[in-house]
Amino acid sequence: MCDWLDLFWKWSGTTPEKYSTEGMNQNKGEFEDDFPFFQELISYAIEAINNNVLDEVSVDEIITIMALDNECECILEYIVDNSSDEQIKRIIEYGMVHSQYNARWQIAELIFRRKPIDFGRYLSKLSLDNHPYVRRRALNLINRQKPEIRMPGDGMPPLKK
What are the tens digits of pLDDT across the range 17-72? Answer: 999 888 776 656 568 888 999 999 999 999 999 999 889 999 999 999 999 999 89
Q: How confident is the model at residue 145 (pLDDT cuts 50, 70, 90)?
A: confident
**HEC secondary structure over 63-101:** HHHHHHCCCCCHHHHHHHHHCCHHHHHHHHHHHCCCCCH
User: Is the sign of the CA dihedral 133, 159, 74, 54 positive or negative?
Assistant: positive
CA-CA distance, 104 to 66, in Å (whole number)? 10
The answer for residues whose C-beta is within 8 angstroms of residue 58's C-beta and 6 or more apart is 48
pLDDT at 17: 92
Tell whether pTM > 0.95.
no
Q: How confident is the model at residue 144 (pLDDT cuts 50, 70, 90)?
A: confident
Buried b (16+ CB within 10 A) or exposed e, 25-45: eeeeeeebeebeebeebbebb
**Amino acid present at 117:** I
Tell the burial category of 154 from Cβ atoms under 10 Å away from its Cβ (0-12, 13-18, 19+).
exposed
Q: Given a cut of 80, is residue 147 above it in pLDDT?
A: no
Q: Return the higher-pLDDT residue of 79 and 2.
A: 79
CA-CA distance, 151 to 25, in Å (whole number)? 36
pLDDT at 27: 53
pLDDT at 22: 82
